[in-house]
Structure 1
Amino acid sequence: MNFTITKDQKQRFAQDGIVKLPGLISMELLAELDACFEWSIAHPGPIASGKTDREDFSFVDNGNPEAKSMYDEIVARSGFGEVIAELLDSQYVGYFAEEIFWKKGRSNPTFWHQDTAYQPWSGEHWCNMWIPLMPMSADQSVQIIKGSHKGIQYDGTTFNPKNPTQALWGGAAKFPPLPDITADVAENPESWAVLGFDLVPGDV
């Protein structure tokens, strides 16, 4: 993989918590990742959610044990590790797991949350790579709150459609409750600094 992280990209990622890497992935590698995606759709793991036989749906799968060797192999030879090490100024980079999203029709967006409320890690030397397999506008692709990785750690959400801020841990943890960011932004678009990018296949 022949891709150089610029100083500006490093700074923006460190400050904002998100950065666009245009054209990072070759069309050949993207075709392999697309085949992995199709396999994951056809072979959902034990914690997959969502039905794909409806007009409107949201399918999510994560950490499928049957898919581990497939994703381990492609990530190991992809060059992703070198790029992320450069982005994070880190000597070592590890790979955790895949997460697959497939949404169609008028499916609801994923509720706002912080991954660190769900996983036993913290700090600044970790990241997610979002890889689109089709063109996506900024309001369709992943969005974050600018600088939130350096701010308050909120409680997670249970992803209850009737209550998007229903506490994951509640009294079992000391996290403050998750704000209703969607409602806040609907009332006042300036209440939260929402960041996202227009993306095409090959971008990350």
Structure 2
Amino acid sequence: MQATTNSAQSFIADDARIFEQYSQDGVVCLRNVLNESWLNRLKEGTSDAIEQGSPHHFRFGTPNEPGFFFGDVMLWQRWPSFCEFAFEGPLAKLAGQLMNSQSVTFYHDFLLVKDAGSSKPTPWHQDQSYWCVGGDQALTIWAPLDAVSSANTLEFVRGSHRWNTLYAAVPFADESAFDGSRDGRPVIPDITQCCSDEDIVSWSLQPGDCLAFHARTLHRAPGNPLPHPRRVLSTCWAGDDAHYIEIASDLAPPIKGDGLLPGAPLACTTFPRIF
């Protein structure tokens, strides 16, 4: 399936067009959100994070092929640059605007690195399928630290957040032990059969640009055939109606809050409320 390229706009706080596109499509591309200072700090922290992965990290590769697919979560708890970015950077305010929420809770961060030559794709999925989070006000902001082209960017099913279906979470690689099937949720439909080319949107990006998307918007990514890595920091945010839910399937990240009960607000020490 050939992804189409949708227009993007420079980030202007309180621009109603941004909220309208996010509400309609479930995804919006914003230019020049992060300045050079934040990008440099995150790049430095990324090198340390890759070298010293947490117990929750993964690293997938294909025998006799170059590159790897690395992921790790909750970096803000271990590295000052990621912690300061979450609490002092511009994304919490942006998340609150898009969610139309008075409060913003930081659910987690997720570092994703596809090394040069990695053939590992990211399958179609919804972020909220992996979370212990209920509610409609939840989103991810995907911030690349390297230039991203049509060859290695995310693809989205426009408007899929409005299908009102939470699908079963899927593993990111065949060798993963992740199991997202225990809640009996429906499997993701064959996107090539249920969607046209016009339903699929994607963007090329430069460092500093961001993709912000609803936690139920279906998305995927190819491998990285380019000669440089594709390093991305995803941050995940929750708003006023977000609440804790118990799920039987594996969690990603595999972390629950501090004594939260089903239906309770998500904010706690593990998932801090930024404002």
State TM-score, norm by structure 2.
Answer: 0.62
Give, in whole Å, the separation in 1 of the partners of 2:184 and 2:136. 21
Residue 72 of structure 2: aligned partner: 61
Q: Alpha carbons of 1:118 and 1:60: their partners in 2 closer, same or farther (altered >3 Å)?
A: same
Residue 50 (1) aligns with residue 56 (2): no
The alpha-carbon deviation at position 10 of structure 1 amounts to 0.5
Residue 96 (1) aligns with residue 107 (2): yes
Contact 1:144 1:195 in 2 (8 A): yes
Specify the code of the residue in structure 2 equivalent to 1:176: P
Q: Alpha carbons of 1:127 and 1:199: their partners in 2 closer, same or farther (altered >3 Å)?
A: same
Give, in whole Å, the separation in 1 of the partners of 2:131 and 2:96. 21
Name stretches of at least 5 consecutive residues in structure 2 with no aligned partner.
1-10, 211-275
The alpha-carbon deviation at position 180 of structure 1 amounts to 3.7
The alpha-carbon deviation at position 70 of structure 1 amounts to 4.4
Residue 19 (1) aligns with residue 19 (2): no
Residue 159 of structure 1: aligned partner: 172
Specify the code of the residue in structure 1 equivalent to 2:146: M
Contact 2:123 2:172 in 1 (8 A): yes
Residue 84 of structure 1: aligned partner: 95
Contact 1:44 1:64 in 2 (8 A): no
Contact 1:145 1:192 in 2 (8 A): no
Of 159, 182, 202 in structure 2, the residue corresponding to residue 196 of structure 1 is: 202
Contact 1:143 1:194 in 2 (8 A): yes
The alpha-carbon deviation at position 81 of structure 1 amounts to 1.5
Give, in whole Å, the separation in 1 of the partners of 2:99 and 2:173. 34
What RMSD over aligned residues (CA atoms) do the two structures have, in Å?
A: 2.8
Give, in whole Å, the separation in 2 of the partners of 1:192 and 1:176. 24
Of 37, 43, 59 in structure 1, the residue corresponding to residue 46 of structure 2 is: 37
Specify the code of the residue in structure 2 equivalent to 1:153: L
Give, in whole Å, the separation in 1 of the partners of 2:131 and 2:20. 25
**How many residues of Structure 1 are paired with residues of Structure 2 in the alignment?**
194
Specify the code of the residue in structure 2 equivalent to 1:95: F
The alpha-carbon deviation at position 19 of structure 1 amounts to 0.5
Q: Alpha carbons of 1:167 and 1:79: their partners in 2 closer, same or farther (altered >3 Å)?
A: closer
Listed one character per residue, the Cα deviations across residues 26-77 of structure 1 (whole Å, up to 9, x for unaligned) are: 111111111121121121111211168x722111112257526542222211
Between structures 1 and 2, the one with greater strand share: 2
State TM-score, norm by structure 1.
Answer: 0.82
Between structures 1 and 2, the one with greater helix share: 1
Specify the code of the residue in structure 1 equivalent to 2:206: V
Kindly indicate whether structure 1 or structure 2 has the higher relative contact order, using CA contacts under 8 Å at least 6 residues apart: 2
Give, in whole Å, the separation in 2 of the partners of 1:200 and 1:191. 24
Residue 179 of structure 1: aligned partner: 189
Name stretches of at least 5 consecutive residues in structure 1 with no aligned partner.
none
Listed one character per residue, the Cα deviations across residues 71-126 of structure 1 (whole Å, up to 9, x for unaligned) are: 22222111221222122221111112211111120422111111222112133312
Q: Which moved more, 1:137-146 or 1:66-75?
A: 66-75
Taking only the aligned residue pairs, the percentage that are identical comes to: 23
Q: Alpha carbons of 1:160 and 1:83: their partners in 2 closer, same or farther (altered >3 Å)?
A: closer
Of 112, 137, 148 in structure 2, the residue corresponding to residue 125 of structure 1 is: 137
SS in 2 for 1:74: helix
Listed one character per residue, the Cα deviations across residues 129-176 of structure 1 (whole Å, up to 9, x for unaligned) are: 1111111124422222111112122111133438xxx9721xx32311
